[in-house]
Amino acid sequence: MHEEMRYKYQTATSNYTLLEEFARENRNNPTEAERALWEYLRGGRMGAHFRRQHVMMDYIPDFVSLAEKLVIEVDGGYHHEGEQPQLDVERTAEFVKQGFKVLRFSNEEVLCNIDNVLETIRKEIQHE
């Protein structure tokens, strides 16, 4: 069964090959905050299976649990500059339209307050 049918989300169309190449590069070169959070998410350690830098539609979320329909984004400083905030709003809206919940954390939150980040994720996975 095709994964997009199993989880009922639309995969990227004409840009898929380019996006997959970019996703592979991102997986091989994570930010410090992404690397730190992945240590807690990988291998089902939070009670859900997560993928990192997984192509969905025309986007590459930092982390996604397809079964839980949960996207986690870790935002660096550029997410507050120029048109990026509006692009993030549109990106989030597309994930929500596909039935996903989106959690956004700053690099600083992940690196300096990981316990609160993990608690927020845990509550979302446990539907609290």
79 pLDDT more than 60: no
For residue 119, the model assigns a pLDDT of: 98
Residue whose structure tokens are 């995969």? 11
Percent of the chain residues past pLDDT 70, beyond the cut: 84
User: How far, in Å, CA of 93 to CA of 29, rounded?
Assistant: 27
* Complete edge-to-edge strand list for the sheet that includes strand 70-75: 51-52, 63-65, 70-75, 101-106
DSSP 3-state assignment of 75? strand
Q: Give the residue with greater pLDDT, 79 vs 47.
A: 47
Q: What is the CA radius of gyration of the chain?
A: 14
120 pLDDT more than 90: yes
Given a contact cutoff of 8 angstroms between Cβ atoms, the answer to whether 45 and 77 are in contact is: no
Residue whose structure tokens are 């329909």? 69
For residue 5, the model assigns a pLDDT of: 43
118 pLDDT more than 60: yes
Q: At residue 61, what is the residue type?
A: P
User: Which residues, 6 or more positions from 108, have their beta carbon under 8 angstroms from its beta carbon?
Assistant: none
Q: Identify the top-confidence range among 9-13, 40-44, 73-77.
A: 40-44
SS3 per residue for 98-118 = CCCEEEEEEHHHHHHCHHHHH
What global pTM score does this model have?
Answer: 0.83
- pLDDT tens digits, residue range 44-63? 999 999 999 999 988 999 99
Q: Report residue 85's pLDDT band, with 50, 70 and 90 as the boundaries.
A: confident
For 104-110, what is the mean pLDDT? 96
**Kind plus residue range of the DSSP H or E element containing 37:** helix 32-41
For residue 78, the model assigns a pLDDT of: 53
